[in-house]
Structure 1
Amino acid sequence: MTFHDQLIQITPKLRVQAFALTRNRAAAEDLVQDAICNALAAQHSFIPGTNFSAWIHRILRNRFISDLRKRRDTTDIEDVPASTFASAASHEDTLALKDLSLALTHLPHDQREALVMVVIHGMSYEDLAEATNCAVGTAKSRVFRARRQLEAWMTGDLPANDKLRMKVQELREKLKSESRQKTGIRAL
């Protein structure tokens, strides 16, 4: 498979990763375009037979970090159009998705990125470690901690640590409050 064929084949996965990083459709498209331009300019440095996916994902991630350092601005997940969801969900499912989206934004950046790359992209821990320039054990740990934290926030399981329990309780109350505001229900 040629370099260009591999680039075309991986572009949808790059879009997903870029969207997970930027949380803005337009910014994600710009990031993918910039990463592809960087990859094309550096194609001579790619060694055929090595992991193309990890190589291009690292370029995208590095481009995102460079852009972030230049701009230092963020975008709210609420800027995402509803049409990005694959199918219409029930009201309860929609609220759960919104809660999950908000909970994802509260994860540390490295954990959120690792979770998206493994769960959504189907990337192996080895590829994740190579793409993020960390040890395989660190990659596994990030995904594990992200899953455990999301599960605690979404199920209401409170950890034994008082500081963490208060943080989880605060986040849960914030999620409920935002959910009520969006559905027009006020707390009595």
Structure 2
Amino acid sequence: MTFHDQVIAILPKLRVQALSLTRNRAAAEDLVQDAVCNALAAQNSFIPGTNFSAWMHRILRNRFISDLRKRRETTDIDDVPASSFASPATHEDNLALKDLSMALSRLPADQREALVMVVIQGMSYEALAEATDCAVGTAKSRVFRARRQLEAWMSGDLPANDKLRIKVKALRDAMDARRRAGQSSDDLMLS
């Protein structure tokens, strides 16, 4: 398989990784495009017979980190309006997906990235370790800790002082009360 064929074959996995890093479809596409450009420019440095997937994932991750360093833009979660975290849900499945999405976004970036690469993309721990420049044990630990933390958050097994959990519970209770009273709860999502 030629170098270009390998690049084309790995694009879907790069898109998934980029989306897990950026959490924005347009930014993810830009990141993939930049990573592919970097890979094409560094094509001669790739050693045939080595793990092409790990090499590409590392290029994408390094490009993401470089872009972050250039921007250095941060936002405190308390400064973001609640409406950006929730939208009117009509089914319990939508609520569960939102809970999962919120829980995933709360994971540390290294754990989220490791979980997505292993669980969603099916990458081996060895390939993950190579792509993220860490030991295999560290890669396994990141996935384990991410799974354990998600399980705790999704089962409601959280500390009593967890501000986000308290806010979400209050919002759900208010929505349920309005539904029982036959009132719309759309305005709650806007506040």
TM-score using structure 1 length: 0.82
The residue number in structure 2 matching 1:97 is 97
Q: How many residues align?
A: 171
Change (3 A) 1:67 1:176: same
The structure with more radius of gyration: 2
The alignment-based identity, stated in percent, is 76
Q: Which amino acid aligns with 1:104?
A: L
Match of 1:147 in 2: 147
1:185 deviates by: 7.9
Is the CA contact 1:99–1:175 (under 8 Å) kept in the aligned structure 2?
no
Q: Tell me the equivalent position of 1:62.
A: 62
> Are 1:130 and 2:130 an aligned pair?
yes
Q: Which residue of 2 aligns with 1:23?
A: 23
Residue in 2 aligned with 1:35? 35
Question: Structure 2 stretches of 5 or more lacking a match?
Answer: 176-183
TM normalised by structure 2 equals: 0.80
Task: Tell me how far 1:156 sits from its aligned partner.
Answer: 1.4
Asked if 1:175 corresponds to 2:168, the answer is yes
Matches within 5 A, 1:115-126: 115-126=115-126
Paired with 2:49 and 2:112, the residues of 1 have a C-alpha distance of 29
2:71 paired with 1:71: yes
Alignment RMSD, CA only?
A: 2.7
Query: Gaps (5+ residues) in structure 1?
Result: 83-88, 159-164
Q: Return the alpha-carbon distance in structure 2 between the equivalents of residues 30 and 132 of structure 1.
A: 20
- Whether the 8 Å CA contact 1:18–1:28 is kept in 2: the answer is yes
* Larger relative contact order, structure 1 or 2 (CA cutoff 8 Å, min sep 6): 2
